[in-house]
Structure 1
Amino acid sequence: MTVVRSGGFAGIERRAESDSASDPMLTRLVGRVDLTAVPPPGRIPDQFLYEIDIDGDRTTVGEAQLQGALRELVHHVLGRA
């Protein structure tokens, strides 16, 4: 799984990868996330955008749409980087 955070005021990109085979918490979080149900990012100036790739399923999420299990998942992966 890969998470890329971009945007924000400074436009600095942050990238992190994690493997659920070595991270049981990641496996639980991935099981709670449905990327097809994520709304597209709104056009909000200087917001962070998160590109999420889970085994080839990809989506881009705006900071405002990052909620619940998806938020936990993104913070878990970025926090391990």
Structure 2
Amino acid sequence: MKVTVVRSGGFAGIERRGEADSADDPLLAGLVGRVDLARVPPPGRIPDQFVYDISIDGRSASVGEAQLTGPLRELVHHVLGPGG
């Protein structure tokens, strides 16, 4: 499965993007299996927070940094890499 993560917002408004394929990455495949994008809460209205747009094989969701927890957080940081 193709996974795309785009981080935007924050104080400086700099966008970061990452893409990965779970077919080539067993750790990512495990994380994808633990994430349900349909249950992701919408981003809250918090000034200067990062917002993550996550797409997994055509299914997508946006989540605010404050709501980014558990397997979803692990998946985002895995795809974006260090500093993501």
Count of matched residue positions in the alignment of Structure 1 and Structure 2: 81
Structure 2 residue 27 is matched with structure 1 residue 25: yes
TM-score of the pair, normalised by structure 2: 0.93
Aligned counterpart, 2:6: 4
| Gapped regions of structure 2 (runs ≥ 5) | none
| Gapped regions of structure 1 (runs ≥ 5) | none
Aligned counterpart, 1:58: 60
TM-score of the pair, normalised by structure 1: 0.97
Q: After superposition, where does 1:57-76 map in structure 2 within 5 Å? A: 57-76=59-78
Cα distance, 1:20 vs structure 2? 0.6
Stretches of 4+ moved more than 4 A in 1?
Answer: none
